Chain A
Amino acid sequence: DVKVTQSSRYLVKRTGEKVFLECVQDMDHENMFWYRQDPGLGLRLIYFSYDVKMKEKGDIPEGYSVSREKKERFSLILESASTNQTSMYLCASSPLAGEANEQFFGPGTRLTVL
């Protein structure tokens, strides 16, 4: 079974802090994604990566950056956390080849910025 793990289930940070969210997948997937999920808005793509050291902006990249130094690990960085970044953050991975190439999601990190 594909396993996607995230470093924390719950995180509380203060405005202005630098925040790191880590995601690790164990199925050698090429693609990795970071989403945020807010009530009434659904999942929105922040950044994705289709290879090591490669990254592309999603729909809402402002205020975020990412790092992919190793194939299995994809990090989301909030350079200076703000209260409007309080949200559920979901990481996902998918293979490059296959019929559906469905995305497999981690359990999520609920981040609260005070």
Chain B
Amino acid sequence: GQNIDQPTEMTATEGAIVQINCTYQTSGFNGLFWYQQHAGEAPTFLSYNVLDGLEEKGRFSSFLSRSKGYSYLLLMELQMKDSASYLCAVRDGDYKLSFGAGTTVTVRA
């Protein structure tokens, strides 16, 4: 089966940086995704990594190491609106995603 682990909760202060780690053990690998989900809303796509290295998108960056089965999402210059759940997902074939349980980030003033 697929095993995707990420911390349950993280708390940080407005303006700070938070790093959400994700480790995975899957039968195959065809890309890693990060989604953001605000309470009561649909998940929305944040980032995609298929090769090792860092992908930067404004205040958010995502890193992948395939040999270590490891990724992180870096949220910089935290804002109150960044309070949400962040979902790590691995695609192991052509279509299917396997998700971690999600990390709830709370941003405090």
Please give the residue numbers on chain A whose beta carbons come within 8 Å of chain B beta carbons, in ascending order.
4, 31, 33, 35, 40-45, 48, 50, 58-59, 90, 94, 99-100, 102-108
- Residues of chain A within 8 A of B102, CB atoms compared: 42
Pair A42/B100 contact, Cβ less than 8 Å: yes
Complex Cα spacing A99 to B44, Å = 17
Complex Cα spacing A90 to B48, Å = 20
Complex Cα spacing A45 to B4, Å = 14
Pair B43/A94 contact, Cβ less than 8 Å: no
Pair B99/A107 contact, Cβ less than 8 Å: no
Give which listed residue, A33, A40, A100, A107, contacts B48 with CB less than 8 A. Answer: A100
- Which A-B residue pairs are the 5 nearest by beta carbons? A100-B48, A105-B42, A42-B101, A43-B99, A102-B45
Complex Cα spacing A42 to B97, Å = 12
- Residues of chain A within 8 A of B100, CB atoms compared: 42
Given contacts A40-B101, A100-B31, A102-B48, contact A90 B43 (CB under 8 A): yes
Complex Cα spacing A4 to B99, Å = 20
Q: How many residues of B contact A (CB 8 A)?
A: 21
Q: Which of chain A's residues has its CB closest to B41's CB?
A: A107
A43 nearest CB across to chain B (Å): 4
Pair B95/A107 contact, Cβ less than 8 Å: no
- Residues of chain B within 8 A of A31, CB atoms compared: 95
- Residues of chain A within 8 A of B99, CB atoms compared: 35, 42-44
- Residues of chain A within 8 A of B42, CB atoms compared: 4, 90, 105-108
Q: Enumerate B1-36 residues with CB–CB distance to A below 8 Å.
A: 4, 8, 31, 33
- Residues of chain B within 8 A of A90, CB atoms compared: 42-43
Complex Cα spacing A15 to B97, Å = 30
- Residues of chain B within 8 A of A33, CB atoms compared: 95
B56 nearest CB across to chain A (Å): 15
